[in-house]
Structure 1
Amino acid sequence: MTALREKLSISTDYPDVTVEDVDASLLPDRRDIPFVTIDPPGASDLDQAMYLSREGDGYLVQYAISAVGLFVRPGSDLDREVHARGVTLYGPDGSIPLHPRELSAGSASLLEGEDRPAYLWYLHLDPDGGLRHSWVEFAQVRSRAQLTYEQVQDAHDGGGTLPEQVPADLVELLATIGRLRIEREIARGGVSLDLPEQLIEKTDVGYHLAFRAVTDVEEWNAQISLLTGMAAARLMKNANVGILRTLPPARDKDLDRLRQVAAALDIPWQADVDYPSFVRSLDSSRAAHAAFLNEAASLFRGASYLPLGAGESADDVVSAHAAIASVYAHVTAPLRRLVDRYALEVCRCLCAQEPIPAWVTEALPDLPKTMTKANQRASAYERGAINALEGLILAGREGEIFRGVVIDVSDGERPRGSVMVRDPAVEATIHGEDLPVGHDIRVRLVKVSPDGPEFEYVKGKHAR
């Protein structure tokens, strides 16, 4: 890991910088709202806290997001360091934070029982989950409980209880609102891929790789975040100021290619069924479906950021996020992503009818380049970390036979493709002719290197 960080010029040490003092008591007091956080086990950089309630015939989502920007003086050494980093990096030996840990895991994190400054969103929904109105303010908040996805899922499934300080209707309302928002996503043509997540788990004897399915609670929680990002984007686009997250539509030729992939995998895709509906019908636990979904993940390319206000208003196609099928903005992870700090402040100023500060407007034009560089480095680091760990786990096992599923094939002089091995959970290069995409097969480990392991196809009957 050290060699990888040196190669990518990544420092794990935060420079000695000055953090601004913030007195949250000067903000409107909303500590009476029983917020809770829902995150992975052991998380300490808590960006969001929620409180869900019924409002007439609809619903009210109150969503508190860390106001970490209050601790960073524009133009300071800390501000320059945050811009240089761009995002938090995650690896098997821990994270490399965007902000000093005294902020990201301390005074700016929405930790249980602590008073914190926050951007507090009020998202008013109609009975069908549609957004009626949104508004955001600075406020002082306090989380009642730090929950995990598993805790909330167990409570929903009837296998566990939540702490008594958690609102009694939290699970019911999260499920109701989450399902309504998923229905809205389907109706507008949004796409969610049911891809298994590759996890790095630290154990008493080292590290372990596993594939983990996303739970219902995580999907519902993600819908609350998406709702907030869409509300923020609507505010900024209507005012023609701020910064949006964009993604161009898929090209027709790429959709045609996916239909060919489905046919090759023997997955029926009727001509009158559109892409979002087809994707939602698949089950990633089935080998052929997992192979197709892996290919589908590459359908939408070219995600970027679009600053608003530099010229003419952006049209709906240019400013939209094709996979979400809506305008969208990054605002829910300011502890871990630089751009969110700017979009949040734009939205707050618009709601408060205050001038947007110069430190925001002057930075907007350069943020896309800053974030692109940061995201590229993060991808290289995280992929490199997984490759290194896969090599560590598989070292000395060359020649062994494993079971896996071919998820794609590349053309070239030497036939090759990608294989998903289930145990250990590895995605790697596979060599061999006539690779049966979408089928369970036997593969032999032939090489372990810093770029990841390589396998070869052991011809014969497919593994069943």
Structure 2
Amino acid sequence: MSRLPMRSAPSARLLEGFAAIREELGIPVGFDPTVMEAAKRAVDGVSAARPRAGADPVDRTEIEFVTIDPPESMDLDQAVHIETRGNGYRVHYAISDPAAFIGNGDPVNAESLRRGLTLYSPDGRTPLHPAVLSEGAASLLPGEDRPSILWTLDLDATGELTGVEVLRAIVRSREKLSYRGAASLLDRGEAPRTLRLLREVGLLRAEIERQRGGVSLNLPGQEVVHDGDCYRLVWETKVDIEDWNAQISLLTGMAAASIMVEGGIGLLRILPGPEPGVLEEIRRAALAMGIDWPDDMDYAERVRTLEPNIPSHASLLAQAVRALRGADYVFFDGELPEQSTHWAIAAQYAHVTAPLRRVGDRFTNEVCLAIHSGSEVPEWALDGLPRLPDILRDARRREGSLDRAMVDFVESMVLADRVGEVFEATVTKTVGRGRSRIQIPSVAVSADIEGRLDPGTRVEVRLVAADPARRAIELEVVG
């Protein structure tokens, strides 16, 4: 893989380039002193009282939670504990409770609504909240008593949801695990019971997802990683436990959506079904590349089994994304909107599991607590809910622009001294105006190239130019 030593001249240009991109996109640097001071006062317990739904927190520090996150993460939103219960399972899912520290009128709330999301760059994060909260008092760090929204989800022997409880609780995580560390414990037979049961429940929930018609698309993305003294481009790779953990988050999000729909108020994450003809076009593309797609196999079943390391499958995965465009948020108060489901999940769904990194989750958890406990939704949540779809849409657009700009810049830097070289590539799709998109596995680059090429084919391409100033590369087909 291509590497750029951070101590070399290009590495200084990388860091300068990252900063320039953030400035260009209006990504904030740090926090205003008033926001920092408000966050510190909240941690010290001297802020104004914050009206919150439900009863006072109960003590659940006896539950042996663990967190599973990327190794560098300190903003720990979720902690999990699973136990057997009769013939089924009980899942405890503790979600960070930043509402314990953030008041409606304080600067931390205003700034979080302005930012919408935590944004990620190769050289660091632009957090939603000051670190004293997101990596400190509100983070579910091991060995620390923390306020949380505790979801208790009872499942039967097949993994179907049979009961839900949500309340405020003080919890204490026992261990901070990485995905690969947790996977290694499982492989060695040394995993704690929660991890072993996470595998069981995750597999059961994945089968329920399959039966429900949910879509699981194994499409690796480009990622810029900091590795020792280098930055490098890689294709994202996952371990199975990431999928099992994601199933717990999906389960919680569907339970939250059900509570809000029943209560007649909330914020849903939605995805309309694809435009007419899109699925048939994707199917025809598969057949044209020699990929088997029987008449009785639907889209979800076909894409679930595609392997991104097979060139034709990688091409079909790139095209299959067309069916998943248009995800959005919708607020409702009273009548349910006409579009209330998430097509890929094949259910109603809400975001509630990442309140340290996604501002809407603080509000949706509050609504769920109020409905479940029979109490009033606090005014601050009622005031904020209608604004959240626009806030989160704007934040998602910034996130997409930042991700693409960073990858384009690093691609051009990685290849800057390799002009004239020839690379093997796979054509993933045509992109209009007589152009095609290719992937170059050896350097984890995805780029457009002149010419309408057959998706799924392998070609040789020559690097004609790489211009970091324009964040652009130019390639030509040579064979």
Same fold (TM over 0.5): yes
Q: What residue number does 1:350 align with? A: 371
Q: Secondary structure at the match of 1:356?
A: coil
Q: What residue number does 1:427 align with? A: 446
Using the aligned pairs only, state the percent identity: 42
Normalising by structure 2, we get a TM-score of 0.90
Is 1:400 aligned to 2:417, yes or no? no
Go from structure 1 to structure 2 and tell me whether the alpha carbon gap of 1:153 and 1:197 turns closer, same or farther (over 3 Å shift). farther
Q: What residue number does 2:336 align with? A: 313
For residues 23 and 392 of structure 2, what CA distance do their matches in structure 1 show? 21
Q: What residue number does 2:476 align with? A: 456
Q: What residue number does 2:125 align with? A: 95
Q: What residue number does 2:60 align with? A: 30
Q: Which range is displaced more, 72-81 or 109-118? A: 72-81
Q: Secondary structure at the match of 1:298?
A: helix
Q: What residue number does 2:49 align with? A: none
Post-superposition shift, 1:446?
1.7
Q: Secondary structure at the match of 1:14?
A: coil
Cα displacement string for residues 177-198 of structure 1 (whole angstroms, at most 9, x for unaligned residues) = 0000001100110001011232
Q: What residue number does 2:149 align with? A: 119
For residues 116 and 379 of structure 1, what CA distance do their matches in structure 2 show? 32
Q: Which range is displaced more, 207-216 or 372-381? A: 207-216
Choose the corresponding residue for 2:205, options 141, 166, 181.
181
Q: What residue number does 2:23 align with? A: 6
Q: Between Structure 1 and Structure 2, how many residues are aligned?
A: 445
For residues 227 and 306 of structure 2, what CA distance do their matches in structure 1 show? 33
Post-superposition shift, 1:83?
0.7
Alpha-carbon contact 1:88-1:96 (below 8 Å) kept = yes
Q: What residue number does 1:443 align with? A: 461
Q: Secondary structure at the match of 1:143?
A: strand
Cα displacement string for residues 277-333 of structure 1 (whole angstroms, at most 9, x for unaligned residues) = 111221112111011011111212211111121x42335xx1000000000000001
For residues 472 and 264 of structure 2, what CA distance do their matches in structure 1 show? 45
Q: What residue number does 2:52 align with? A: none
What's the C-alpha RMSD, in Å, of the aligned pairs? 1.5
Alpha-carbon contact 1:89-1:97 (below 8 Å) kept = yes
Matches within 5 A, 1:41-440: 41-158=71-188, 161-162=190-191, 168-309=192-333, 311-315=334-338, 318-412=339-433, 415-432=434-451, 434-440=452-458
Alpha-carbon contact 1:195-1:213 (below 8 Å) kept = no
Post-superposition shift, 1:264?
2.3
Go from structure 1 to structure 2 and tell me whether the alpha carbon gap of 1:293 and 1:22 turns closer, same or farther (over 3 Å shift). farther
Alpha-carbon contact 1:405-1:439 (below 8 Å) kept = yes
Q: Which range is displaced more, 34-43 or 447-456? A: 447-456
Q: Give the unaligned 5+ runs of structure 1.
A: 163-167, 460-464
Post-superposition shift, 1:12?
1.8
Normalising by structure 1, we get a TM-score of 0.93
Q: Which amino acid aligns with 2:241?
A: V
Q: Which range is displaced more, 210-219 or 172-181? A: 210-219
Alpha-carbon contact 2:223-2:407 (below 8 Å) kept = no
Q: Secondary structure at the match of 1:248?
A: coil
Q: Secondary structure at the match of 2:175?
A: strand
Q: Secondary structure at the match of 2:324?
A: coil
Alpha-carbon contact 1:331-1:340 (below 8 Å) kept = yes
Post-superposition shift, 1:22?
7.0
For residues 137 and 178 of structure 1, what CA distance do their matches in structure 2 show? 24
Q: Which amino acid aligns with 1:342?
A: F
Alpha-carbon contact 1:384-1:451 (below 8 Å) kept = yes
For residues 118 and 473 of structure 2, what CA distance do their matches in structure 1 show? 27
Cα displacement string for residues 341-395 of structure 1 (whole angstroms, at most 9, x for unaligned residues) = 1000001111221100111112111110111011101110111111111111111
Alpha-carbon contact 1:22-1:71 (below 8 Å) kept = no
For residues 427 and 453 of structure 1, what CA distance do their matches in structure 2 show? 10
Q: Secondary structure at the match of 1:328?
A: coil
Q: Which amino acid aligns with 2:219?
A: L
For residues 266 and 442 of structure 1, what CA distance do their matches in structure 2 show? 21
For residues 348 and 233 of structure 1, what CA distance do their matches in structure 2 show? 12
Q: Which amino acid aligns with 1:126?
A: D
Q: Secondary structure at the match of 1:282?
A: coil
Q: Secondary structure at the match of 2:389?
A: helix
Q: Secondary structure at the match of 2:315?
A: helix
Q: Which range is displaced more, 12-21 or 325-334? A: 12-21
For residues 323 and 401 of structure 1, what CA distance do their matches in structure 2 show? 39
Q: Secondary structure at the match of 1:363?
A: helix
Q: Secondary structure at the match of 1:408?
A: strand
Post-superposition shift, 1:397?
1.2
Q: Which amino acid aligns with 1:255?
A: L
Alpha-carbon contact 2:186-2:195 (below 8 Å) kept = yes
Q: Give the unaligned 5+ runs of structure 2.
A: 1-17, 46-55
Q: Which amino acid aligns with 2:160?
A: G
For residues 458 and 41 of structure 1, what CA distance do their matches in structure 2 show? 42
Go from structure 1 to structure 2 and tell me whether the alpha carbon gap of 1:133 and 1:192 turns closer, same or farther (over 3 Å shift). same
For residues 43 and 161 of structure 1, what CA distance do their matches in structure 2 show? 23
For residues 334 and 394 of structure 1, what CA distance do their matches in structure 2 show? 38
Post-superposition shift, 1:438?
0.9
Q: What residue number does 1:462 align with? A: none
Alpha-carbon contact 1:210-1:423 (below 8 Å) kept = no
For residues 43 and 27 of structure 2, what CA distance do their matches in structure 1 show? 28
